[in-house]
Amino acid sequence: MRASSVLLLAFVVSWTPGIALAQGASPAPPAAKPEMTEACPGLVADKAPLRSPVRRVAIEPDQVRLTYIGHATFLIETPQLVRIATDYNGYVKPPVIPDIVTMNHAHMTHYTDNPEPEIKHVLRGWSPDFGKPARIDLQYKDVRVRNVPTNIRSYYGSAETERHGNSIFIFEVANLCIAHLGHLHHTLNQQQLNEIGRVDIVLVPVDGSYTLDLEGMVEVLHALKARVMIPMHFFSPWTLDRFLSRVRQEWDVETREVPSVVFSKATLPEKPKVLVLPGH
């Protein structure tokens, strides 16, 4: 257990600032499945974990382990020990090869063209057909991964919008729904909120400039109504403190000393809160 904990804490943190705000919303998606519009149902583990050359530390069937690696990358571990890395760029990454990686098209700190061949599923949050939305709905063991497309600015300082260049990724596992907002540049319309569905935990970029401004992000967080909000994409203590000063007007804030936390439906806080994990 101790050796695995040390392994989880060993990570590389690197970042490069990117692009700015954009406005807009996605066109009507294909008809959503009923469970998406009513609630995010989640999935429960029902198979034994696969063996791996790297020792994996088990969690209970109703739990998810979340570790902040840095920038916009989290390691999500499921009861069947599926490993997922978000906004995977090839250098801010967990110390083991994940089974699934998600990426966003904002700039090179949120994706890589050269993911390791051992990664089973590489999920790009933009379509190779420029201007059209990516549509992802992957079931792998005890996790379901799907996306909701959003727009981004084509490049920093540009007034041109790249439609559907970003994706909000939704991870359904152990009866929990985790939303990673990616490089979000605009508030969400009702259509997008319906597509996202209920969210328990949201991973939120809080830089307030390269992504959505602070007031816009607070609006998004109110709309999502998640019980736990975890900051990411903040670059420096000053940027994080600016975000926390603003959100303390709305929610309680808790700071952890280690970047890893285990969640279950039963242990979610009664009142929504912001949970700060160490990283950049």
The percent of residues above 70 in pLDDT, for the chain, comes to 77
Residues in the chain: 280
pLDDT tens digits for range 203-217: 999 988 888 999 999
Residues paired with 137 in a beta bridge: 146
Extents of the domains making up the chain: 2-13+28-276
Give 21: exposed, middle or buried? Use CB within 10 Å, 0-12, 13-18, 19+.
Answer: middle
Closest residue by Cα to residue 260 from 94, 122, 13: 94
Superfamily per CATH, domain 2-13+28-276: Ribonuclease Z/Hydroxyacylglutathione hydrolase-like (3.60.15.10)
User: In the block, which residue shows the tokens 């979340």?
Assistant: 66
Residue 276 has what DSSP assignment?
E
pLDDT tens digits for range 5-53: 433 343 333 333 333 333 344 444 444 443 333 344 333 233 333 323 3
**Dist CA 101 CA 82 (whole Å):** 11
What 3-state class would DSSP assign to 237? helix
What 3-state class would DSSP assign to 144? strand
Give the pLDDT band (50/70/90) at residue 177.
Answer: very high
**Dist CA 187 CA 7 (whole Å):** 37
Cβ atoms of 256 and 230 closer than 8 Å:
no
Dmax (CA) of the chain = 51
User: In the block, which residue shows the tokens 């949050």?
Assistant: 125
Cβ atoms of 277 and 230 closer than 8 Å:
yes
Residue 191: pLDDT above 80?
Answer: yes
pTM: 0.79
**Dist CA 193 CA 168 (whole Å):** 11
> What is the sign of the dihedral through the CA atoms of 108, 113, 114 and 120?
positive
pLDDT, the chain, mean: 82
pLDDT tens digits for range 120-135: 999 999 888 877 899 9
Q: Which amino acid is at 48?
A: A
